[in-house]
Structure 1
Amino acid sequence: MMITALFVLFFGLLALGMPIAFAIGLSSLIIIFVDPTMIPYVVTSKFFAGIDSFTLLAIPFFIFAGEITTASGLTARIIRFADVLVGRFFRVGLAYVNILSSMLFAGVSGSITADSAAMGSLLIPSMKKAGYDADYAVAITATSGTIGALIPPSILMVIYGSLTNLSVGQLFLGGIVPGFIFAAVLMLVAYLVGRARGYDFRVSDIDGHSDDPYWKELLVAFRGASIALIIPLIIVGGIVGGFATPTEAGVLAVACALIAGVFFYRTLNWSKIYEAAYRSALLTAVVMAIIAFSTLFSDILTRNDFQDWLLGNIQLVSENRYIQLTLILLLLFILGLVLDVTAILIMFAAPLAAIGVTLGFDPIHYGVIIVMVSLLGACTPPVGTLLLIGCSIAQIPLSRAIGTVSWFVGAQLLVCIFLMFVPEAITWVPSLVFNR
Structure 2
Amino acid sequence: MQTQKGKTWEVLDIELAKQGELNVKLAEKCMRSLMILRERFTKEKPFEGLRIAMCLHVTKETAVLVETLVAGGATVGITSCNPLSTQDDVAAYLALRPGINCWAYKGETIEDYYRYIGYVIGIRPHITIDDGCDLVTEIHLKHKELIEDIIGGCEETTAGINRLKNMVKDGALNYPVIAVNDNKTKHLVDNYYGTGQSTIDGIIRATNTLIAGKTFVVGGYGSCGKGVALRAKGMGANVIVTEVDPFRALQAKYDGFLVMPMKKAAPLGDIFLSVTGNRDIVTLEHAKLMKSGAMLANSGHFDCEVDVSGIREFATKVVRVRPWMEECYLPSGRSVYILGEGRLINLAAGEGHPSEIMSTSFCGQALACEYLVKNKGQLKNEMITLPEELDIQIAKIQLKSMGVEIDELSEKQIQYMSKWKEGTKLEDEEEN
TM-score by length of 1: 0.28
Larger helix proportion of the pair = 1
- Structure with bigger strand share is 2
Higher relative contact order structure (alpha carbons within 8 Å, sequence separation ≥ 6): 1
